[in-house]
Amino acid sequence: MTGNPSTKAVAKSDERILRVSAAMDEFENYAPNQHAAQIAALGDALAQKFNLAAHDRIFLRQAALVHDIGEVLMNREYILSSQMLTANERLDLQRHPVIGEQEAAKLGLSRAAQLLVRWHHEWWNGAGYPDALRREQIPLSARILRVVDSFAALTSKRPFRAAFSESEAARHLTEWAGIEFDPKVVKEFLTLEYSAKSETEFETNQSETEQKEPTSTFE
Ligand SMILES: [Fe+2]
């Protein structure tokens, strides 16, 4: 990603971004400022591991803070339902990254940050949405966002399931590396002090795993 936003422009949009972030966590029934802030912190830790440039770290943080604003704007009851989503509800929900991208534009976020919001549900094997990008077609920051969003969601109590322990969530990331997640990003994530290491040895057999179809976003 290129482009270097001025410090003034970043500061100006920061307050609005934090307001959106708080509204997002409230809508999704997370503890105030818990989910989005955790994703932003974990994402930045990974960004540093991958030596992302300062401006890319800013874009990733902004996108992390507002990534699910599309869900808030859609305001669907099923999002907080304890029931499994129907096929139609799942399709409807898949609109949220695009709606989020549009809202990120209205918030004045850079095009790079807008696209991270758009692509935060893309999967390494191309089975994600909205654009079914695969592998390096997905920007590294969006691949990072996918991993940290999943980890934060899994380790939080949701209306439809109990919270995973950190080691259970780490195991999930390991099992879905090469399918949903970039294996390199998962491997680095498991070295962070924030997360428990998976008890399963990290290895990915992509020839086997890439055939797997998505079953649930666990969010
Ligand atoms: Fe999302």
**C-alpha of residue 211 to centroid of ligand 1, in Å:** 23
Note residues around ion ligand 1 (Cβ under 5 angstroms). Answer: 68
Between CA 67 and CA 35 the distance in angstroms is 11
Name, in order, each residue with C-beta under 8 angstroms of 101's C-beta and a sequence gap of 6 or more.
70, 114, 115, 117, 118
pTM for the complete prediction? 0.82
- Residue 159's pLDDT is 76
- Structural domain count, the chain: 1
d(CA 164, CA 217): 14
Please list, in sequence order, all residues whose beta carbon lies within 8 angstroms of the beta carbon of residue 26, skipping any fewer than 6 positions away. 32
**Cα 176 to middle of ligand 1, angstroms:** 17
Q: Above 90 in pLDDT, residue 134?
A: yes
Which tokens is 187 given? 């491997």
CA of 138 to the centre of ligand 1 (A): 15
Number of Cβ within 10 Å of residue 30's Cβ equals 19
Cα dihedral 41→69→165→143 (10° resolution): -60
User: Is 216 within a domain?
Assistant: no
Asked if residue 218 belongs to a domain, the reply is: no
Q: Out of 30-44, 60-74, 171-185, 190-204, pick the least confident.
A: 190-204
Is residue 1 situated within a structural domain?
Answer: no
- Ligand 1 centroid, distance to 53 Cα (angstroms): 24
Q: How far is the CA of 28 from the centre of ligand 1 (A)?
A: 11
Tell me whether residue 217 is in a domain: no
- The DSSP letter of residue 34 is T
Beta bridge partners of 181: 177
In-domain check, residue 75: yes
Q: Does some domain include residue 54?
A: yes
Burial state string for 150-183 with b = 16 or more CB within 10 A and e = fewer than 16: bbbbbbbebeeeeebebeebbbbbbbbbbbbbbb
Task: Give the mean pLDDT of 84-95.
Answer: 94
- Select the more confidently predicted residue: 22 or 117: 117
What does the alpha-carbon distance between residue 143 and residue 148 come to, in Å, rounded to a whole number? 9
Domain that holds residue 47: 7-209
pLDDT for residue 175: 98
Domain at 37, CATH number: 1.10.3210.10
Q: How far apart are CA 122 and CA 185, in angstroms?
A: 14
**Is the residue at 26 inside a domain?**
yes
Q: Does 76 reside within a domain?
A: yes
pLDDT digit string (tens) for 174-198? 999 999 999 999 999 999 976 543 3
